[in-house]
Every structure is written in structure tokens, then in C-alpha cells.
């Protein structure tokens, strides 16, 4: 390992999401997959113009790159960012949408169940590896899905929550049954408190830009 990117600590104990996601899945996913993206990113950016950039800046600067080296950097930087965001999108303690988030959900989807149904559909229909997202655009909430390491953040879209739908996220617990993984995660361990904080970040960014 050569560079300065590190594996951010998990926000909960590795066993904390059981039975929805096993400690075994978290252990492989975090210590093997996520760690490898961090290590590979550090190796790839060494002695490049990206070496001193922040992670978000690297993701934005390399998104859609045609250069093969930049594509590799994007894939690893995107996956480091996406995984950090995914762990924080999950919470073993049951949370509910509150305040501005609850109002935005009512305005954009009708209710939380409709949002979850749309998020589940995005995760199920993402062909191959990727991610399902809850995002906000000027306070209006929307669902997106991305392939591989792609992320709405790269296009400047404010992300509220994400769910990893790569097979490594669920195969040990659910085998090929991605819909069962999605049903359990979306119904039981989504971190609505984190989504609310991320929605407030968009408000702050809009106010800062207006000043």
C-alpha cells in the first residue's frame, strides 16, 4: 500500500445487521472487496495528478473517461466512495423518515412504502452489478440505478441512500435471490436518519450557492 486512502471504519459491529446481512458477508465484503478497492486505488494514483486529490474529486474527474488508466482509477475510486456510502446507508436500529425527509417522501412518492417499492424495482432490474439509489434534486426525491462503479455523485447529484446489488453483497446469505436481499434490507435496515442528514446537505449547498 502506497497512497493515502484508507478503509473507513464500519459504523456498526460486523454482526449488527444479522439476520438481514450476516457477519460473514460483511466480513468478506468489507475486509476483502472494499479493502481491495482502497489498495488498488492507492497503487493506481501513485505519481499521478490524482495522488493529492480528494476521493470525490477523483470520482468526478475520471467519470466517463476514455483513457484506460483513468477508467481503472474511476472504477476503484467510485467503488471506495460507493461502499463508504453504502455502509452508512444501513443501520441495525430501526429508524423512520422524519421532518423534511418525511415531507419530501410524501410529496415525491406518496409514502415510504411506495418509495421502497420503486427502490426495490431499481435494484431488481439493474442488469448485472451495480447500485440502487435514493437521490434528491432541489428537494425533489428520485430513484436511480447505476452499473458497476458508477454513482450519481459523479454528476453532482445529491445522494441520500444506496443499496449495493453486486452479487458479493448478498450471495452468501441469499444466493441468487437478489429480490429477497432487497426486501429485507429495504424493509428493515435502511438508515433514514442518514438520508435526512444528506437531504439537509443539499439545502445547505443551495443556500451557500445563493449567497
Least CB distance to Mn ion at residue 203 (A)? 29
Least CB distance to Mn ion at residue 164 (A)? 4
Least CB distance to Mn ion at residue 88 (A)? 14
Decide whether 50 or 85 has the Cβ nearer to Mn ion: 85
Decide whether 60 or 83 has the Cβ nearer to Mn ion: 83
Q: Please, where are the H alpha helices in the chain?
A: 23-28, 35-45, 55-62, 68-89, 99-109, 112-125, 171-174, 178-188, 192-210
Interface ranges with Mn ion (CB under 5 A): 164, 166
Cβ-closest position to Mn ion: 164
C-alpha cell recorded at residue 101: 425527509
Decide whether 5 or 109 has the Cβ nearer to Mn ion: 5
Least CB distance to Mn ion at residue 138 (A)? 30
Residues 6+ apart with CB under 8 A from 110: none
Decide whether 164 or 202 has the Cβ nearer to Mn ion: 164
Q: How far is CA 186 from CA 73, 98, 178, in A?
A: 30, 17, 12
Which residue in this structure is represented by grid cell 436518519? Answer: 193
Amino acid at each position: 500500500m502506497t497512497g493515502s486512502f484508507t478503509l473507513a471504519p464500519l459504523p456498526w459491529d460486523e454482526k449488527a445487521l444479522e439476520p438481514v446481512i450476516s457477519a460473514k458477508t460483511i466480513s468478506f465484503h468489507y475486509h476483502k472487496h472494499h479493502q481491495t478497492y482502497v489498495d488498488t486505488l492507492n497503487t493506481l494514483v501513485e505519481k499521478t495528478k490524482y495522488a493529492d486529490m480528494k476521493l470525490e474529486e477523483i470520482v468526478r474527474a475520471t467519470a466517463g473517461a476514455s483513457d484506460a488508466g483513468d477508467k481503472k482509477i474511476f472504477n476503484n475510486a467510485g467503488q471506495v466512495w460507493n461502499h463508504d456510502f453504502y455502509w452508512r446507508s444501513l443501520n441495525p436500529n430501526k429508524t423512520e423518515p422524519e421532518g423534511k425527509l418525511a415531507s419530501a417522501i410524501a410529496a415525491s412518492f406518496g409514502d415510504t412504502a411506495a418509495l421502497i417499492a420503486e427502490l426495490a424495482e431499481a435494484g431488481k432490474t439493474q442488469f448485472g452489478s451495480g447500485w440502487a439509489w435514493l437521490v434528491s434534486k432541489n428537494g425533489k426525491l428520485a430513484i436511480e440505478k447505476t452499473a458497476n462503479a458508477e454513482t450519481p455523485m459523479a454528476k453532482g447529484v445529491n445522494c441520500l441512500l444506496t443499496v449495493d446489488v453486486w452479487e458479493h453483497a448478498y450471495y452468501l446469505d441469499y444466493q441468487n435471490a437478489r429480490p429477497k436481499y432487497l426486501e429485507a434490507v429495504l424493509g428493515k435496515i435502511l438508515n433514514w436518519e442518514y438520508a435526512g442528514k444528506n437531504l439537509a446537505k443539499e439545502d445547505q449547498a443551495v443556500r451557500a450557492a445563493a449567497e
